[in-house]
């Protein structure tokens, strides 16, 4: 969340920048500033009365020693009054601080100045494109028909076992999944990322730390009995490794990678491009997570974007990079670049990665800090990216590489699959 200090010192800037995310912040930021002023006033009064009570408490013993019983009794009565006043003010302060936190967590992160204006995906800006879109014959099959033809993925069996959005991968389809996971993990490790194998369920504190709660609880699967949440991305458990941690400057940047299954309810998305692998409730993804000093985080973001580009290049997929507009960004992001690959049989672009800088927004929730040469703890910046999400990569690989002889496997991936054709 945004820091209280930044909001109160930059009220008009905060309101202006929030407007780019189409968040009307005038009223809520006004409430924050007003509550903070009240908090400061109560805190000042509490500090003054606490100091007075401490001084009186020290004086009482001396007064008794000096035989000044009446003055000592009067001071003792005054400390009792102050104790009650302090208790009441402490209760009031706790209530104000809780109210402030409840408001602060509803305010999205500020977009970076380079974020384009816009409300919907069509307003995103194409930054860069690469690869070659294949020319397929008119009778080219979409991936869901290819999956059936070559017995790679059984969507109906997944419906039987669980429900829509939970496909069953079979034979070479399952081997392709495993190959991509290992391919992405090996590439991340070669790029200097430490591999992590995290839990697939997290507690409320972890969901809060990375911003999924309280904003996205309707999108997450919730195990009510244990009050645990199935992760929507490995970003959540991996970033929470550093919750309530103070790093040393020499430990930065932190670079971690993790494979996980991801679980998303995708509430409200029914009927929107849901055919085949386009939109699932369970899918596989390799994530990269970085923690860095604020002055280095945008260089880290560029490095992460460049790294993801190497992956789609190695897979020989046509791709483009989008700079997301204010209206299409996530609640927690300051700047996001999306990668899309072209699915030739569907004749459409499919999102396969988001690479984001959250600046100090997550770190403030997580209390993830570092100490520099001055030994003062300050907030880190956190970043993450999909590197990569599998379903739409698989969709594009199947569609783009179909031939009369079968489906060709990209050269860089063949050592992982163990076969060059399906």
pLDDT in tens, 210-239: 999 987 668 899 999 999 999 999 999 999
- Report the pLDDT value the prediction gives residue 154, as an integer from 0 to 100: 98
Q: What's the whole-number mean pLDDT along residues 158-185?
A: 98
Residue spans of the domains in the chain: they are: 4-104, 121-417
Pick the CATH number of 4-104 from 3.50.50.60, 1.10.287.40, 1.10.10.350, 3.10.580.10: 1.10.287.40
Least confident of 64-68, 170-174, 178-182, 316-320: 64-68
Cα–Cα distance, 410 to 422 (Å, whole number): 11
pLDDT in tens, 252-288: 999 999 999 999 998 655 555 779 999 999 999 999 9
DSSP 8-state assignment for residue 191: T
- Report the pLDDT value the prediction gives residue 271, as an integer from 0 to 100: 56
Q: Which residues are annotated as a binding site?
A: 233, 264-266, 287, 351-354, 384
Q: Which residues are annotated as a binding site for L-serine?
A: 233, 264, 287, 384
pLDDT in tens, 77-119: 888 888 899 999 999 999 999 999 999 999 999 999 999 999 9
Cα–Cα distance, 36 to 34 (Å, whole number): 5
Query: Can you spell out the DSSP letters for 316-344?
Result: T--EEEEEPPGGGS-SS-SEEEEEEEEET
pLDDT in tens, 9-53: 999 999 999 999 999 999 999 999 999 999 999 999 999 999 888
Residue pair 211/234 in contact by the 8 Å Cβ criterion: no
Region 121-417: CATH code: 3.30.930.10
Mean pLDDT for the chain? 95
pLDDT in tens, 17-28: 999 999 999 999
Alpha carbon of 68 to those of 53, 56, 71, 74: distances in Å?
A: 19, 14, 6, 10
């Amino acid at each position: 969340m945004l820091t209280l200090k930044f909001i109160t010192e930059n009220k008009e800037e905060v309101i202006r920048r929030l407007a780019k995310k189409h968040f009307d912040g005038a009223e809520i930021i006004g409430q924050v500033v007003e509550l903070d002023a009240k908090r400061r006033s109560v805190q000042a009064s509490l500090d003054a009365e606490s100091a007075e009570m401490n001084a009186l408490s020290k004086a009482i013993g001396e007064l008794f020693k000096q035989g000044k019983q009446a003055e000592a009794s009067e001071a003792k009565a005054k400390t009792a009054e102050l104790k009650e006043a302090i208790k009441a003010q402490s209760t009031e302060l706790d209530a104000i601080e809780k109210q402030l936190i409840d408001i602060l967590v509803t305010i999205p992160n500020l977009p970076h100045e380079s974020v384009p204006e816009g409300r919907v995906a069509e307003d995103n800006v194409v930054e860069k494109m690469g690869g070659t879109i294949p020319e397929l014959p008119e009778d080219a099959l979409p991936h869901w028909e290819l999956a059936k033809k070559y017995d790679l993925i059984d969507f109906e069996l997944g419906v039987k076992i669980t429900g829509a959005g939970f496909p069953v991968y079979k034979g070479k389809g399952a081997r392709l999944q495993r190959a991509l996971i290992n391919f992405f993990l090996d590439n991340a490790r070669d790029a200097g990322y430490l591999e992590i194998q995290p839990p697939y369920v997290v507690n409320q504190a972890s969901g809060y730390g990375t911003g999924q709660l309280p904003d996205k609880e309707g999108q997450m699967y919730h195990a009510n009995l244990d009050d645990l949440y199935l992760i929507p991305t490995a970003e959540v458990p991996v970033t929470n490794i550093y919750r309530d941690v103070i790093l040393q400057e020499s430990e930065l940047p932190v670079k971690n990678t993790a494979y996980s299954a991801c679980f998303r309810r995708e509430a409200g998305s029914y009927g929107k491009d849901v055919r085949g692998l386009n939109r699932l409730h369970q899918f596989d993804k390799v994530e990269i997570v970085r923690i860095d000093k604020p002055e280095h985080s945008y260089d880290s973001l560029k490095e992460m974007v460049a790294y993801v580009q190497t992956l789609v290049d190695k897979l020989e997929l046509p791709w483009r990079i989008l700079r997301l507009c204010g209206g299409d960004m996530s609640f927690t992001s300051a700047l996001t670049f999306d990668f899309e690959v072209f699915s030739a049989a569907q004749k459409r672009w499919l999102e396969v990665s988001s690479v984001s800088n959250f600046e100090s927004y997550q770190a403030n929730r997580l209390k993830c800090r570092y100490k520099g040469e001055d030994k003062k703890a300050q907030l880190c910046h956190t970043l993450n990216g999909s590197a990569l999400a599998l379903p739409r990569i698989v969709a594009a690989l199947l569609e783009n590489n179909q031939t009369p002889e079968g489906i060709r496997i990209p050269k860089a991936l063949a050592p992982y699959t163990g076969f060059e054709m399906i």
